[in-house]
């Protein structure tokens, strides 16, 4: 699938963006360009924002093909890497506004955990929010977004490629709520 010029430019800018580099205990070691953190298999900080509507449905979106990790995968959370001089909460607020056009909502902090996959190593912070307004997706990062029942998102995750890190965040959230 072809990648648009705006997606390619966005990816190039994203790759050189400075992100927080941490150790296995989530202690800050410094900052590195995002691509270097990935290439050296170092640990960064990431945020996951589970966006629900007032009916309890979860916003699920499909990532663009230009994403460095999990291109074209479905994602159960907005989110991304924590930038330099940014807290987990600040990153979560920024990412939710960038990816889905949602701002001015209360973010509820839930869990922090370490995720290690073949392609990424992250200290993760999980937040949730409720939103009934329209979604304004960022076309360089998100192809489609819609709300669906959580049970349906979980069922589809067994049939289609879903981002394993955000899926882990969702399952941890549901277990803590006694819903899984």
**Residue ranges at the known binding site for Mg(2+):** 95, 99
- Alpha carbon of 140 to those of 8, 31, 64: distances in Å? 8, 24, 7
Binding site listing: 95, 99
Helical segments of the chain, H only: 5-16, 34-39, 88-100, 150-156, 164-176
For residue 3, give both structure tokens. Answer: 């990648």
The answer to whether 69 touches 38, Cβ cutoff 8 Å, is yes
Beta bridge partners of 20: 31
């Amino acid at each position: 699938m072809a990648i648009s010029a705006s997606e390619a430019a966005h990816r190039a800018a994203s790759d050189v963006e400075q992100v927080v580099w941490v150790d296995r205990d989530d202690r800050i070691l410094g900052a590195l360009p995002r691509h270097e953190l990935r290439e050296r298999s170092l640990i960064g900080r990431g945020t996951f924002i589970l966006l629900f509507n007032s009916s309890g449905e979860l916003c699920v979106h499909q990532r663009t093909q230009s994403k460095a990790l999990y291109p074209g995968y479905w994602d159960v959370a907005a989110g991304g890497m924590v930038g330099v001089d940014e807290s987990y909460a600040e990153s979560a607020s920024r990412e939710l506004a960038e990816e889905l056009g949602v701002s001015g909502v209360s973010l509820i902090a839930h869990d922090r955990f370490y995720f290690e996959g073949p392609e990424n190593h992250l200290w993760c912070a999980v937040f949730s929010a409720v939103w009934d307004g329209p979604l304004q997706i960022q076309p360089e990062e998100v192809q489609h977004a819609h709300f669906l029942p959580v049970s349906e998102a979980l069922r589809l995750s067994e049939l289609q490629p879903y981002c394993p890190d955000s899926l882990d965040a969702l399952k941890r959230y549901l277990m803590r709520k006694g819903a899984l």
